[in-house]
Chains A and B, each alone.
Chain A
């Protein structure tokens, strides 16, 4: 999963401090693996350097300075491009897809479009395997079947998610 894109997506709803970003990330995506502060600040400085975010304000307090980050137009375009690009079909991509779907819902994009595009990418791989299976010997058929069943499992998850988008929207925008 791309932490940079996820943090950028979270910034689309409004400027936030690094601490707030970490909290929002952990709450929505980091149940098993919360972000370290170091990851947040190193990611933000990279995004800042690349012009995808800007510093919206600095609060001076007793402790270290707290920067508030805002997404730039280039940052929004970058998120848009990431969401619209299907993931390469491979095992365990659900966490990335889940993140994309949630971010699309949070930013009022069409999450169904993301799932349609991903289904199409999976089907592209499945067509290649099916063709190889048709032309191949039994060994080819068994190898292709194994890959096909894995891709099919991804798609079953995708269809179930598509059927639950309204519920998910209500849950994540609560």
Chain B
């Protein structure tokens, strides 16, 4: 694959095995700033492994991942951690909020970990909570809010550091369709207005319909449908 001009994040010929199981078998990926790309495919096809590799969480056995001109596979663990903290945001399906902290403290957490003062971090956090329509929950703990509300809090947290890429792995998987769609609407609106790219792993077509294009992963290989059709 040639790297598409203007790409923010690209992956080429990624291979990854877990014991006898091949999770990625030459997968490729690219995304531009501000673009929302859905990664689709059946369970076990390798789509979550692809997301974990391009987000710098898991190292592939071979292949290349380039973020903003830098080779991610050549970075040390500490450099990849710093990259994830400063440039990336994450939303997962379950259990991502810290139960002991209030919602606003949860949203402020990435800023606190990067050294911001409590007051400054919570002020920025609250602005994002307003945008995600959950600012009234600021003093509640995650156990006291609904699944849909908790997921909006998680989306606010993923965006609080102004990341350039948000990785969302089945972000609506635990929600009913009404709440799921509202989360997708708010996530993609917020990301687009901040010019953040979104990598959206999903098996739900209605969720994927919020993307600009989709990549299909089958048996560890990826297919960019925009280039096929």
Contact A126–B206 (Cβ < 8 Å): yes
Give chain A residues whose Cβ lies under 8 Å from the Cβ of B214. Answer: 119-120, 123
Give chain B residues whose Cβ lies under 8 Å from the Cβ of A124. Answer: 229
Contact B205–A130 (Cβ < 8 Å): no
B152 at the interface (CB under 8 A from A): no
A159 at the interface (CB under 8 A from B): yes
A155 at the interface (CB under 8 A from B): yes
Contact B205–A120 (Cβ < 8 Å): no
Contact A159–B42 (Cβ < 8 Å): yes
Q: A116-B216, A119-B40, A119-B216 are in contact. Are A155 and B205 (CB under 8 A)?
A: yes
Give the B-binding residues of A (Cβ under 8 A): 86, 112, 116-117, 119-124, 126-127, 129-130, 134, 148, 151-152, 155-156, 159, 162-163
Contact A126–B205 (Cβ < 8 Å): yes
Q: Which residue on B lies nearest to A141, using beta carbons?
A: B181
Give the A-binding residues of B (Cβ under 8 A): 40, 42, 185, 203, 205-206, 208-212, 214, 216, 218, 223, 225, 228-229
Report the bound CA distance from A119 to B185 in whole Å.
21
**Nearest 6 pairs of A and B residues by beta carbon:** A126-B209, A120-B225, A130-B209, A155-B205, A116-B216, A152-B205
Q: A116-B223, A120-B229, A134-B185 are in contact. Are A162 and B206 (CB under 8 A)?
A: no
Of residues B42, B206, B210, B211, which shows the largest number of chain A Cβ atoms within 10 Å of its Cβ? B206
Q: A120-B229, A134-B185, A162-B42 are in contact. Are A112 and B205 (CB under 8 A)?
A: no
Give chain A residues whose Cβ lies under 8 Å from the Cβ of B229. Answer: 86, 117, 120-121, 124
B187 nearest CB across to chain A (Å): 13
Q: Which residue on A lies nearest to B205, using beta carbons?
A: A155
Which of A126, A127, A159 is in CB contact (< 8 Å) with B203?
Answer: A159
Report the bound CA distance from A148 to B180 in whole Å.
14
Contact B206–A117 (Cβ < 8 Å): no
Q: Which residue on A lies nearest to B219, using beta carbons?
A: A112
21 contacts between A and B (CB under 8 A): A86-B229, A112-B218, A116-B216, A116-B218, A116-B223, A117-B225, A117-B228, A119-B214, A120-B229, A121-B229, A123-B208, A123-B225, A124-B229, A126-B209, A127-B211, A134-B185, A151-B205, A155-B205, A156-B205, A162-B42, A163-B42
Give chain A residues whose Cβ lies under 8 Å from the Cβ of B185. Answer: 134
Report the bound CA distance from A155 to B207 in whole Å.
13
Give chain A residues whose Cβ lies under 8 Å from the Cβ of B42. Answer: 159, 162-163
Report the bound CA distance from A155 to B203 in whole Å.
10
Report the bound CA distance from A159 to B216 in whole Å.
12
